[in-house]
């Protein structure tokens, strides 16, 4: 099966470069710093807790392994991971065009849709693996340093979930986050098809997310907000409420799904007829 061979080749190209591991290294550094800071100074919300200490009686631990995996999500998944995903996905087409390897590849008896599909799927796998690594490493290090316990979420309200429920919610949240990162990868891959420089593709993707975030914050464009990818990258936080209502999640999930699939479909059509002049 050619598609399988192409996909294996694409994954080998991504994970065969040292650059691909820079992203994982950056996440290791970030998570380690956060865990160290929590160990050294206590949880970041302790001061707020202290201010309201007359209303709360804290029994047990405030910081646990699941709490670390929850706490790391916003700082990592809204800026850093999209950047790392875009940096790799942005090079999958443009990098090959720049190096000229695209013409070597397309001189083989492969169908263009299969080449494009393998690149998109490889980009999604990388995005998913980076998100999973973030969650697993944060959870693992959190458990190693702080041990097991309830998941205490203090972003968008204060929620305490039992360990079992917390782990389930963490799994759901990281799945939603992975979908968002796959959508970011699709956008980066699409831009990568339009330019011949990987840096340009990465910059365009980040600009797309940033402009979306700015536009979504301007009241005049309020009507546009539900359709912007940047509006939904934080959708995972909704699963950390005490009771989860999945109905409001349908639109963000659908929207991210469209952002994941639409560039892919459009990209295949464009790539099929593109002149390879590199």
Give min distance, CB of 194 to other proteins, in A. 17
**Number of residues counted as binding other proteins (CB under 8 A):** 27
Q: Which of residues 16-45 bind other proteins (CB under 8 A)?
A: 16-18
Count of CA atoms in the C-beta half-sphere (13 A) of 99: 10
Would the CA dihedral through 226, 185, 130, 165 be positive or negative? positive
Give min distance, CB of 104 to other proteins, in A. 5
Question: Could you say whether residue 12 binds other proteins (CB under 8 A)?
Answer: yes
Give strand pairing partners of 159: 153
Question: Could you say whether residue 52 binds other proteins (CB under 8 A)?
Answer: no
Instruction: Please identify which residue in 2, 47, 48, 156 interacts with other proteins, judged by CB under 8 A.
Output: 2
Question: Could you say whether residue 277 binds other proteins (CB under 8 A)?
Answer: yes
Q: Which of residues 70-129 bind other proteins (CB under 8 A)?
A: 99-101, 103-112
As a whole number of angstroms, the distance between CA 190 and CA 242 comes to 38
Give min distance, CB of 14 to other proteins, in A. 11
Nearer to other proteins, 48 or 111 (CB): 111
Would the CA dihedral through 264, 266, 267, 273 be positive or negative? positive
Smallest CA-to-CA distance from 129 within 164, 89, 70, 78 is with 89
Greatest C-alpha distance within the chain: 73
Give min distance, CB of 67 to other proteins, in A. 39
Phi/psi of residue 275, nearest 5 degrees: -80, 130
Block residue for tokens 């305490």:
160
Give min distance, CB of 119 to other proteins, in A. 14
Give the binding site for other proteins (CB under 8 A): 2, 5-6, 9, 12-13, 16-18, 99-101, 103-112, 272-273, 275-277
């Amino acid at each position: 099966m050619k598609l399988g061979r192409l996909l294996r080749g694409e994954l080998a190209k991504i994970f065969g470069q040292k650059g691909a591991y820079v992203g994982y290294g950056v996440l290791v550094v970030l998570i380690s710093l956060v865990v160290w800071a929590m160990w050294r100074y206590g949880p970041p919300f302790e001061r707020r807790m202290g201010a309201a200490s007359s209303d709360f009686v804290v029994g047990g631990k405030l910081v646990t392994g699941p709490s670390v995996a929850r706490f790391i999500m916003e700082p990592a998944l809204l800026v850093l991971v999209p950047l790392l995903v875009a940096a790799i996905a942005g090079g999958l087409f443009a990098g090959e065009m720049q190096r000229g390897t695209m013409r070597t590849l397309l001189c083989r008896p492969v169908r263009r849709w299969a080449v494009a599909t393998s690149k998109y799927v490889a980009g999604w796998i990388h995005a998913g693996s980076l998100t999973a690594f973030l969650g697993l490493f944060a959870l693992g290090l959190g458990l190693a340093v702080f041990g097991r316990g309830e998941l205490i979420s203090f972003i968008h309200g204060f929620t305490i979930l039992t360990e079992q429920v917390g782990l389930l919610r963490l799994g759901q949240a990281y799945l939603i986050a992975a979908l968002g990162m796959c959508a970011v990868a699709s956008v980066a891959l699409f831009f990568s098809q339009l330019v011949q420089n990987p840096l340009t593709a990465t910059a365009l993707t980040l600009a797309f997310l940033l402009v979306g975030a700015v536009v979504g914050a301007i009241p005049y464009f309020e009507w546009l907000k539900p359709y912007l990818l940047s509006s939904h990258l934080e959708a995972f936080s909704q699963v950390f409420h005490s009771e989860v209502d999945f109905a409001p999640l349908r639109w963000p999930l659908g929207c991210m799904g469209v952002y994941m699939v639409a560039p892919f479909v459009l990209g295949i059509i464009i790539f099929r007829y593109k002149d390879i002049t590199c």
